[in-house]
Amino acid sequence: MIYNIPYIAVAALILLGLYALIFKRNLIKMVIGITLIESGVNLFLITLGYRKDSIAPIYTSSPGGTMAFPIPQALTLTSIVIGVAVLALMLSLVVHIYRHYGTLDVKKIRRLKE
Amino acid sequence: MDKRNIASVIVFTIVAIFFVISSLLIHPFGMPDESEMDDYIIENTQEETGANNGVTSVVFDYRGFDTLGEATVLFTAVAGVILIFRRLKND
Amino acid sequence: MNIPDYLIPMAVAIPLLGAFLTPLISKINDKLRNIFVILILALNAVIVILIASKIFTNGIMTYVFGAKDITYPVVRILFEVDAMSIFMAIICSILVLVAVIYSWAFMKDNTGLDKYYTLILLLTAGMLGMVLTGDMFNFFVFLEITSIASCALIAFWIDVDKSVEAGFKYIIISAMGALFVLFAVAILYGQYNALNIAVLSNLIQYSYLDKIALVLLIVALGMKAGIVPMHMWLPDSYGSAPSSITVILIGATLASLYGVLRVIFTLYGNVLSTLVRFDVSVNIVIGWFIVALAVVSIIIGVTMALIQSEFKRLIAYGAVAEIGYMLLGIGAGIVALGTTYGKIALNGGIFHILNDALDVGLLFLVAGSIYYATRETSLDKLCGLARNMKYTTVFFIIGLLAVSGMPPLNGFASKLLIYESTFQINPILAIVAILCSILLLAVFVKVFFSAFMGPALPKYKHVKEVPKSMLLSMGIIACIIVFIGLFPDLIINNIVEPASNALLGYSEYVSQVVGGI
Amino acid sequence: MTEMSRIVRTISSIAFPFSMIFGLYVIAHGHLTPGGGFQGGAIVASACAMILVTFGSKWTITKIKEKKLSILESLGAISFIALAFLGLIFGAVFFNNFLVGTDYLFGVIPPTGSVIADINTGGLLPLMNFAVGIKVIAGLFVIVLVMAYATSSFREENK
């Protein structure tokens, strides 16, 4: 059980993010929720690739020994950059929503009703 | 408004259960069951790609197309941000 | 004709290269840029059709990035293209080409057009990458490209508060969906240490984790495909985006639907056809689940369309109902897996993907033309437009007859297949489907009489017919609709049948990579 | 954004070249040590963002226009995809690392096992690192610059 602490951290991060996304009324907090979920998923990916007592998969002056998985690290790198891109777009839309409505409260800006 | 809240609570609970169960059921930390694909890369990165850094060899060689996609995502975001903050009237 | 293998990555690389070049070319001249974009997309359509001609005769093609052959274990990214993928690729490239031709006149007065065209090319690359790839993580990357590009394009009219809000809603939904997909990919990777769809499909055990991954993938991709109850974003984004973008968004939505199909039929194909749990085989459970979603989508789509007063939102709810029809056919095909009428249902569902894209696309283009001519979106204020806009009226009639499944147009051909096969499974399903189809016809006929017929209002006296490029693009789609309506068997036998065989023949898909199971 | 106090400006202009050099080092040694085009690009872009924060977006946008950065980004992306196309031309496969084992440019294959870093290894990878590095520097900086400039001009409109 003690070995699974990183996974518990993953679950906690994702749940916090989902909580912020679903129950918070402020748009910025919703954006923070998305980024929290994203960090949770990234942590999950990188955790999957760890082997006990392993070193980074780099041969330059390496001390030798088992190496951690390189693929999850590459995938996490990709996922982080994608997260930055999504975050930039979300924040620029939030700026525009604030310009139009003068508020960030999600209940006050629902103009797209039937 | 109450109905909406109840629905959100239900959705939250179901999704939460999914994530918690999957983080409990996956292999213990530091002891992956399968390692065929990653061992192949660790063994062959120097011969096949000439790079000492295994992660770079994955990023730019073995999964180079992903990196093209990733660069494209950044390009898309830049285009999107510039489009959103553009001037609306021609000078 | 000899068709080289390297055309497959070109289908994605050419739009990408075009997208990277567009900012430089628009420095020179705006007209040159428009021609350049149209040429790139036309070239891309030609490439897709060349690949298709080879695949419909020879079967699955694979392409390995960075090495000549597949090495084991499969570390490199593969493109694995079967008839279903190339079927979707054809739909996407037709829609994008039409939308770009339409944009020439439609978007002429706007600023920021260089980024607009760049994003269209990126969106094309994203959609084609989604449908052609054979790697789960690569699928996720292209899913993100598609959603980011379409989000920025939905919010194109940034001074309109509705479109900003729709764009924000869309990006939240798609970011969450993409993260679910990534989590599912991570679960599969952690268990089997593989990312390739064929390899994973060969290894999958249907453990608890696999079930969670399946549910996450279906929920996330279904959310992006606009299936009820996750359809909330769809009318907003379809209604608020420029019409040319809405047409491309249909392609993006269908690419997500393709993801659902690929996950069910190929990734879990092994499980679907063989596994029996608690005396009920898995395909019955998944199949009825999809049929239930489909019926709900049809009913909600049609009833919500009845009460809309805005033209594009009305068509968007019609699109939700049409997605329901596709799912009805596909779900019935999964329930009756292995029987002849199950095959017919699957054919009907897949054929309806093509027909829906064309019909709904045509209707959105008509709505855009009306907006272009009158600057009005509310149906209550439009009246008597048929006098001044003859061609547009004709196109609208074609679109409304096709979308509500009237003979002799293409919607009828696919809906007939769905009706007759679902009747075999449960007559109630067929009756609901037919009734909703009639209601959809009623909705659109009401629109037709209120907007196009009636007295000529003085404020629409000076309304002119839309420019030629817009008529041309609507004409292209209308011609394809009429052609498919006249010769449905030709399309079914040559394109739809191979696609449904490809979906069902998961063992072939797997053996292309794994080498015999 | 308005500019910050003189102390902050002086310190950041001293720190700027060092962070720039460090970022370029991370890009150049991407195939040998931890790092690569994305990471190094992010470091250089943060150095630029530091200048943006301390000197204000008004001043920065007079020094470098967002259109130029956008073109720089396109050039980085084009060179990256062009390297992929070179693989198709010389190695017959898209994304083929055809330089490995040719002894030209970066083509030397290092001995297996733990080795001292050799810069001329890796084939196409260092070149791709540079292409992606340029792209990421320009891309991240242009996002920050455009957002900062646009929000500060909105604020002025509201006043």
Name residues 37-56 of chain B within 8 A of D (Cβ).
46-53, 55-56
Run of H or E including D84: helix D66-91
Q: How crowded is residue A102: how many other Cβ atoms within 10 Å of its Cβ? A: 10
DSSP-derived 3-state class of residue C91 = helix
Question: Is A111 within the bounds of a domain?
Answer: no
Helix (H) or strand (E) holding C280: strand C280-281
Residue C291's CB: how many other CB atoms inside 10 A? 24
Query: Does D94 contact C66 at a Cβ distance shorter than 8 Å?
Result: yes
3-state class of B65 per DSSP? helix
Query: Which tokens in the block code for residue C111?
Result: 């600023």
Helices C30-58 and C7-28 cross at an angle (nearest 10°) of: 170
Q: Which residues of chain C have pLDDT under 70?
A: 1, 275-280, 516-517
Contacts of C21 in chain D (CB under 8 A): 74, 78
Q: Which DSSP letter does residue D109 get?
A: P
B36-77 pLDDT per residue, tens = 888 888 888 888 888 888 888 888 888 889 999 999 999 999
Does D38 reside within a domain? yes
Longest Cα separation, chain A: 65
C59: left (phi over 0), alpha (psi -120 to 50) or beta: left
The enclosing H or E element of C80 equals strand C78-81
User: Do the domain assignments include residue B90?
Assistant: no
Q: Are strands C78-81 and C276-277 parallel, antiparallel or unpaired?
A: unpaired
| The token pair that represents C274 in the structure block | 């063989």
For residue C100, the tally of other CB atoms under 10 A from its CB is: 25
Buried-exposed string D20-29: b where 16+ CB fall within 10 A, e elsewhere:
beebbebbbb
Candidates C320, C311, C316, C298; CA nearest to C447 is C311
- Cβ within 8 Å of residue C190, ≥6 positions away: A48, B26, B27, B32
Q: Element (H or E) spanning C309, and its range? A: none
Residues B38, B44, B48, B50, CA torsion sign: positive
Does residue D26 lie in a domain region?
Answer: yes
Q: Whole domain around residue B28: which residue ranges?
A: 2-84
Of C228, C134, C213, C227, which Cα lies nearest the Cα of C181? C213
**pLDDT of amino acid C276:** 64
Q: What pLDDT does C517 receive?
A: 43
**DSSP β-bridge partners for residue D121:** D108
pLDDT value of residue A113: 45
Distances (CA, A) of B20 to A14, B13, C181, C296: 9, 10, 16, 30
Indicate which CATH number applies to the domain containing A79: 1.10.287.3510
* DSSP, residue by residue, C479-498: HHHHHHHH-HHHHIIIIIHH
Measured between its terminal Cα atoms, the distance across chain D in Å is 14
10 Å Cβ neighbour count for C327?
Answer: 28
The three-state secondary structure class of C71 is: coil
CA angle C481, C485, C486 (to 5 degrees): 120
Return the percent helix, strand and coil in chain D, to nearest 5.
70, 0, 30
Its sign, for the CA torsion A91, A95, A96, A101, is positive
CB C191 within 8 A of CB C178: no
DSSP C172-190: HHHHHHHHHHHHHHHHHHH
For residue C133, the cross-strand partners are C79
Search chain D and give the residue with CA nearest B67: D132
Is residue D47, in this structure, part of any structural domain at all? yes
In chain C, where are the structural domains located?
276-486
Q: What radius of gyration, in Å, describes the C-alpha atoms of chain B?
A: 23
Contact C103, C45 (CB under 8 A): no
Residue type, C103: S
Q: Kindly report the CA angle at C428 between C422 and C430, in degrees rounded to 5? A: 40
- Our count of domains for chain B comes to 1
Residue A44 domain-assigned? yes
State the smallest CA–CA distance between residue A27 and chain B in angstroms. 17
pLDDT number for residue C35: 93
- The CA distance from A93 to the nearest CA of chain D, in Å, is 11
Q: Which residues in D lie closer than 8 A to residue C64 (C-beta atoms)?
A: 93
Residue C166 · residue C236 · CB < 8 Å: yes
D115 φ, ψ to 5°?
-135, 165
* A80-101 tens-digit pLDDT: 999 999 999 999 999 999 888 8
Distance from CA of B63 to the nearest CA of C (A): 6
Q: What is the rounded CA–CA span in Å between residue A37 and residue C436?
A: 40
Residue C415 in 3-state DSSP? helix
The C-alpha of A92 sits at a distance from chain D's nearest C-alpha, in angstroms, of 7
Inside any domain, residue D1: no
**Distance of alpha carbon A18 from alpha carbon C44, whole angstroms:** 40
Inside any domain, residue A112? no
3 state DSSP class of D72:
helix
Nearest CA to C487 out of C475, C479, C477 is that of C479
Amino acid, single-letter form, for residue C327: L
**Pair type for strands C61-64 and C276-277:** unpaired
A interface mutation test: which of C172, C185, C236 has the most A CBs within 10 A? C172
Q: Which H or E run includes A4?
A: none
Question: Can you read off the two tokens belonging to residue A62?
Answer: 């390496």
Q: Hey, is the C-beta of C142 within 8 angstroms of any chain B C-beta?
A: yes
| Domain contains A113 | no
CA dist A80 and D52 (Å) reads 23
User: Which residues 6+ apart lie within 8 Å of C49 measured at CB?
Assistant: C90
**What amino acid is encoded at C331 in this protein?**
G
Residues in chain D where the model's pLDDT stays below 70: 1, 117, 159
Domain that holds residue D122: 6-158
User: Residue A71 and residue C195: Cβ atoms within 8 Å?
Assistant: yes
Contact C300, C230 (CB under 8 A): no
Residue of B nearest to C210 (CA): B22
Distance CA C77, CA D67 (A): 34
Question: What is the Cα–Cα distance from D79 to C384, expressed in whole angstroms?
Answer: 55
Residue B35 lies in a domain: yes
Two tokens at C440? 């959809």
Closest CA–CA distance from residue B80 to any residue of chain A (Å): 7
CA A5 distance to own-chain centroid: 18
D137, two tokens: 């520097």
Chain mean position to CA C376: 27
Q: C316-371 pLDDT, tens per residue? A: 999 999 999 999 999 998 888 878 888 899 999 999 999 999 999 999 999 999 99
Number of domains in chain D: 1
- The residue with tokens 């990458």 is C129
- The pair of three-digit structure tokens given for residue A14, joined into one six-digit string: 């994702």
CB contact under 8 A, A101 and C161: yes
Say yes or no: D120 contacts chain A, CB-CB below 8 A. Answer: no
